[in-house]
Structure 1
Amino acid sequence: NNLLKVCNALGIFKYSSDQRSLGFASNAQSEIIGDRASAMVRPEPCDLIVTKQNAQDVEYEAWEKDHPSALRSFEGMMSIAKGKKIIMFLDYDGTLSPIVDDPELAFMSDTMRSAVREVARNCPTAIISGRSRDKVYEFVQLNDVYYAGSHGMDIMAPPRRHKSGDTKYQRRAVDKKGNEVIIFQPAQEFLPEILEIFNELEEETKVIEGVTVEDNRFCVSVHFRRAKQEDYSLVEKKVLSVLGRHSRFHLTRGRKVLEIRPSIKWNKGNALEYLLETLGFAESSDVLPIYIGDDVTDEDAFKVIQKRGQGFPILVSRKPKVTMASYSLQDPSEVLSFLLRLARWRRN
């Protein structure tokens, strides 16, 4: 039945009862046999054959109707944004840089860096990543954006008091340009145990080829993209064995990565809200946040924007996914195109 649906969507059907190929129907290929009209489609070398890729394309097109391309929807989105203050939030891996086998080599292009710089000149811009804040800065190398690492558990924000008045998680510091900033770290108490977890994971996984353990300061990632597929279950077993010794932590899953994080009520959505507040836009009705991200941890930020009822959550994905995002982009190259158009729109 699913194949028939795909065929119907593509305009494809079987051309005879004893042949297995599928092709486009055309009037020129219809023949009159005797007194009866029998539409028989003869295969041509260029006829489309239904493949797994064709089916995936059809599935993506159907999904895209509910999550339209932010590039094709750009003019409509900007008509809504007109007269509002745009605040840009960006994930890093898979959004500003491609997903690569070695996480240490996830460099963004100079063109992407220039695009982010141009956007940041006209719109307050923050990068919210699962990486450590220092690592994200090392990759991005821009001083005009705010950085939130460890899924928002390590935020560099403007020097503005958080409305809760709780200052035990924050301290004043100076950024690379000499400007005063606030460093907000709600998981400080977990740092000694996070170091223990990092060391244990390195010890447990060192026998598995292709596994990399990354210290993200307030969480620990185990990357297994370069590991053999038959070792995936062993990687998970090793990670779970370490997790079992640390009751205050939990496991999250990403794209070929397992992560052990402190069990606190703080995520990328909370980080987005914190940054909006420290930027002075928490209660503003004329602010329009845009968040672009590609992974499951970005869904928390998408939910916050949906709850606010203002803003554009954009998922980066080549595959249909269950998501709270309203719009989509297929890959970092489309993210680049979107940022360049946004920068040009803001200048004009």
Structure 2
Amino acid sequence: MHAQAAGPTAPVRSLPSALEKLPLLLEALGPEPPRLFLDFDGTLSDIVDDPEDAALVSGLQPVLQRLAARIPLAFVSGRETSDVEGRVRIEGAAFAGSHGLDIRGPGFTHRVGAEASAALSELLPRLLALASEFPGLHVEEKALGLAVHYRGAADVNPVRLEETLSRLAGERPTLRLIR
């Protein structure tokens, strides 16, 4: 479902400059510096066929380090927290791995989802059996989840795969499917 504006609309020909509203934006932010949350895969790294090949875009690390000296940075990923920390390597930043189930930063740690480990262990053989039917389908075990990578599987219908994964996750109340 989506919302739609009432009445006829004209195509947007030009947009006003956001800089015109900078004083209003700075007032809304208040005295605290803004925080910047960045995704890793596809934002700070190129999308690649094998997730292990993902790397920070060349030349970006020193830029992020300089930015981190000015404002708080957080890096968000579906990857394990330690994985994204190792790929980004920014001192003093916060890292949210496993889609926010494991968050670490200067002086704090927040981790949820351990109660799902039995359901994940039960689901893993079903996913591995599914992967064996489709060359290129890869199941990745994570501390707080399972990932199914289908980019390398030529014969997989993504819609059907998502339906199957939704059904399998739905059979286990402690699990949910994250796309």
- Report the TM-score when normalising by structure 1: 0.41
Equivalent residues in 2 for 1:139-178, closer than 5 Å? 139-158=87-106
Cα deviation, residue 123, structure 1: 0.8
Cα deviation, residue 143, structure 1: 2.6
Question: Which range moves more in the overlay, 219-228 or 199-208?
Answer: 199-208
Are positions 1:132 and 2:80 aligned together? yes
Equivalent residues in 2 for 1:51-66, closer than 5 Å? none
Match of 2:52 in 1: 104
Residue 161 of structure 2, aligned match among 235, 254, 257:
235
SS across alignment from 1:190: helix
Cα deviation, residue 233, structure 1: 4.9
Are positions 1:123 and 2:71 aligned together? yes
Equivalent residues in 2 for 1:1-348, closer than 5 Å? 73=18, 75-76=19-20, 79=23, 80-81=25-26, 84-158=32-106, 181-228=107-154, 230-233=156-159, 235-236=161-162, 238-240=164-166, 242-253=168-179
Structure 1 unaligned spans of 5+: 1-61, 159-180, 254-348
Query: Identity percentage over the alignment?
Result: 28
Residues 208 and 235 in structure 1, CA contact (< 8 A), matched pair in contact too: no
Give the aligned residue type for 1:105: D
**CA–CA distance in 2 between the matches of 1:233 and 1:106?**
25
Give the aligned residue type for 1:103: P
Match of 1:259 in 2: none
The 3 A distance-change label for structure 1 pair 226 and 63 is farther
SS across alignment from 1:250: coil
Measured against aligned partners, the alpha-carbon deviations of 1:93-119 in whole angstroms (never above 9, x if no partner) come to: 121112222222121123112221111
Give the aligned residue type for 1:156: R
The 3 A distance-change label for structure 1 pair 187 and 150 is same
The count of aligned residue pairs is: 165
SS across alignment from 2:35: strand
The 3 A distance-change label for structure 1 pair 183 and 224 is same
The 3 A distance-change label for structure 1 pair 84 and 184 is closer
Greater radius of gyration (CA): 1
- Report the TM-score when normalising by structure 2: 0.75
Structure 2 unaligned spans of 5+: 1-10
Structure showing greater relative contact order (alpha-carbon pairs closer than 8 Å, 6 or more residues apart)? 1
RMSD of Structure 2 on Structure 1 (CA):
2.9
Give the aligned residue type for 2:81: R
Larger strand fraction of residues: 1
